[in-house]
A and B are shown apart, each in its own frame.
Chain A
Amino acid sequence: MHLKRSLPAALKYQAVRVEEAARRAGLDGYEVEFELLPPDALNAVAAYGGFPVRYPSWRFGMEYERLEKGHRWGLSRIYELVVNNDPAYAYLVSSNSLLEQKLVMAHVFGHADFFKHNLWFAPTDRKMLDTLASDATKVRRAIDRVGQERVETFVDRVLSVETLIDPYLPLREWRAGAAAGAGTAGTSELPTYDVLGFLLERAPLEAFEREVLGCLRREAYYFAPQRMTKIANEGWASYWHSRLLTGGLLEAEEIVDFADCHSSATACAPGRLNPYKLGLECWRSAERRGLDLFALRRAHNDVTLLDTLIDEEFLERELASCGGARLLPEQEGPPDYAAAKAKLLQELSWGGLPQIGLVAVDEAGERELQLVHRHDGRDLQLAQARETLKALAALWGGPVHLLTIENGQGRRLVASADEVRTLETREALQRCA
């Protein structure tokens, strides 16, 4: 991919205007580098998560095919793509109208500000573009040494378990005074949620495997805050694009198109929560209450932000319009908004993922790993969990146990690299709770 294609003058002019307006309004993000790309090149960059250089993997090819198909049939369209980096990189699609470009720019300045000032992003690597490029080189070198098949198999296994990290770890380390880009050293302390870190320290890996695992773990920690702040971040960007554009950046004849564009981004498919819309309404309600928006955006992730800002009145007004009607318990009488809020927060907690921790290693016996799923009322999908455990057992080079609960019954899954047995156990009922 060739970056640094310069923007045409008309867009550059708009970028300067929008940036000026953003600064005046109090946004203070990283410098933003805009890249103008044709749609197919944008799909390629989007398949790589916004980074022009990633390690080779068929998954990016698969993602590209999906995006490309969506684009070809007109089903999906990527408006904005921005990378948390200093300077922030953002992509503009050449097929968008000038109004859409302006909207995207304003949106991007919102994100850039959020990346810079939100606490959860504080420990992330701000030179990630370079880091990923150099990681890609490491993976390529490993492929040259041991062959594509082996590296690919290893990468796929790690990606299966890449959610087994502790999303709060980087912030803890950062507070304790470690350098930015924390989470580079692994851990061998138990119990831990940082299973990847534990593997990095203790699993019997070959040199190339350890190197690749290090790269993938770094990525997992880099991307984790984006999962935890999706609603706050998208809401923040949407709040600002709407405020900046309607605050003087729009020409009169663009107003209707803007409204159309904005409302299609904040429209909801039934049954699916729209983070843009929900976030936007949160920030607007904070504004109405006279709260300090900039202080809020500094401190909060999705769970804490929603916990602070939404109340029954908010839910009554916005829940259905944000696509969250399914959160309400089905019952007679007045709707139970407290329950809906609790359910919403639960779904967002731990980045929306099952919370699975490593509690013990049986050093004396077969070196088996003991994992526990902290069950909050939602079951694991066991067919997938079994396959995932196999991948983990292959990485660890020994058996892996997982305690979980299925339909109120205690379960112990015992996995080796090739097979998984499922046992019933009462023990799980206490330990998973």
Chain B
Amino acid sequence: MLRIDADRARFREIVRGRIRTDLKRYLSTGELIGRSGNHSVSIPLPQIELPRFVFGSNDEGSGAGQGESGESGDAKARASASGQAGEDPGLHILEVEVEFDDLAQMLGEALALPKIEPRGHKTMETESGRYSGLRVHGPESLRHFRRSFKNALKRTLASGQWDPARPCVWPEREDLRFRDKKSVRKPDSSAVVVHMMDVSGSMGREQKEIVRIQAFWIDTWLRSQYRNLEVVYVVHDAVAKVVDQHTFFHLRESGGTKISSAYELCLRLIREQYRPEDWNIYPFHYSDGDNWSARDTESCVSLLRDELLPRVNQFCYGQVKSAHGSGQFKKDLDAALPSADKLVTAAVGEKSEIPESIKAFLGRGR
């Protein structure tokens, strides 16, 4: 259409290239989380503008790497050149909006993630649809004037009542047509993610940050695979409860750890709200690997084997290393359920290992 579209496409391509280069960094820092809206993330790209000779102060020191063209420096440089105000457009760093779908695609490319294979062959009849059909009965508000009039006109002409000197058309009941909703068969595309986190005393800020980043990317990926994604947050120490997102990441409880409490709650959620026939279910559990007792670990294992695993697409356990945690739970799970292919466990020592654990969780295409 317009010439500008080619330039715009090129710009978008460059932006995507930059983000792809930086993706590894975004994967192991929480940078993007605070910038996400409903459908897109806004990513600041300071390095995309061409460098020029400009006035500006160099107070903040040159700093390392990214810091060199850091935000405050730039903003000041522009501000002091405002003698020619009105012309210089961007007073701020360029922020580009990237759709979650795009971001997920980049993530998929970077980590070589397979597309999720459909579980079964369900299709759901949905009532939603567009008014693209016609029918003979309906409310006045949906009357299709043009079609109704056309019918009336045809009937008038065919029956010889048409008088060119007095061109009137009286519609009758059977001439009327009404708009009709066409229902569409849509593939089943609902999924629920249950993020469960151990918030006992040993899970510190660093550990929560890791969980937060993982959860963000997992949601991003799954959202690109399912039309409708719901996310449920569960925290537990000795008891488990459903919380909102903010609480999930900021709550700090202390006390004992009874992992089975979370698994039981998860099972209850599945039974009551997210029936496996209608939902693709992805429980994720994060802890530092300490459980209260070996007895409780046993009941966790049997819960998983008998109740949870048969109902879910995949169950992921991410063990975050902490100063106090023994890391025993992962060993116990791996030992007790060696052949459970719906169970994925991964250990994360530090932030740079996040991409690998995301790949472990999502790399099986379930």
B69 CB-CB contact with A under 8 Å: yes
Q: Footprint of A on B, CB under 8 Å?
A: 2-4, 6-14, 48, 50-58, 62, 68-69, 73-74, 77, 79-87, 89-90, 94, 96
- Majority SS of interface residues in chain A? helix
Shortest C-beta distance, A81 to chain B (Å), equals 13
Binds B, one of A15-23, A155-163, A169-177, A199-207: A155-163
Which A residues lie within 8 Å of B84 (CB)?
227, 230, 275, 347-348, 351-352
A419 CB-CB contact with B under 8 Å: no
Given contacts A62-B94, A273-B83, contact A388 B55 (CB under 8 A): no
Among B2, B11, B73, the residue within 8 A (CB) of A383 is B73
B85 close to A384 (CB less than 8 A): no
Shortest C-beta distance, B184 to chain A (Å), equals 30
26 contacts between A and B (CB under 8 A): A57-B10, A59-B7, A62-B11, A62-B48, A63-B89, A64-B8, A65-B96, A66-B94, A230-B86, A273-B83, A273-B86, A347-B84, A348-B83, A351-B84, A356-B53, A373-B53, A378-B80, A379-B58, A381-B54, A381-B56, A381-B77, A384-B51, A384-B74, A384-B77, A385-B51, A406-B58
Given contacts A56-B7, A61-B4, contact A354 B58 (CB under 8 A): no
Which A residues lie within 8 Å of B73 (CB)?
381, 383
Closest residue of B by beta carbon distance from A406: B58
CB within 8 Å of B: which A37-70 residues: 41, 44, 47-48, 52-53, 56-66
Which B residues lie within 8 Å of A63 (CB)?
89
A33 CB-CB contact with B under 8 Å: no
B69 close to A383 (CB less than 8 A): yes
Interface residue total, chain A, C-beta cutoff 8 A:
57
A236 CB-CB contact with B under 8 Å: no
**Bound: A391/B50 CA distance, A:** 10
A225 CB-CB contact with B under 8 Å: no
A387 close to B54 (CB less than 8 A): no
**Bound: A398/B49 CA distance, A:** 24
Which B residues lie within 8 Å of A347 (CB)?
81, 83-84
Given contacts A53-B3, A61-B7, contact A354 B82 (CB under 8 A): no
A214 CB-CB contact with B under 8 Å: no
B53 close to A385 (CB less than 8 A): yes
The 4 closest A-B CB pairs, nearest first, are A381-B56, A347-B83, A61-B11, A387-B51
A323 close to B8 (CB less than 8 A): no
Among B2, B54, B80, the residue within 8 A (CB) of A41 is B2
B82 close to A383 (CB less than 8 A): no
Which B residues lie within 8 Å of A391 (CB)?
51
Given contacts A60-B7, A384-B52, contact A272 B85 (CB under 8 A): yes
Closest residue of B by beta carbon distance from A344: B83
Shortest C-beta distance, B46 to chain A (Å), equals 10
Shortest C-beta distance, B222 to chain A (Å), equals 29
Shortest C-beta distance, A350 to chain B (Å), equals 11
Which B residues lie within 8 Å of A53 (CB)?
3
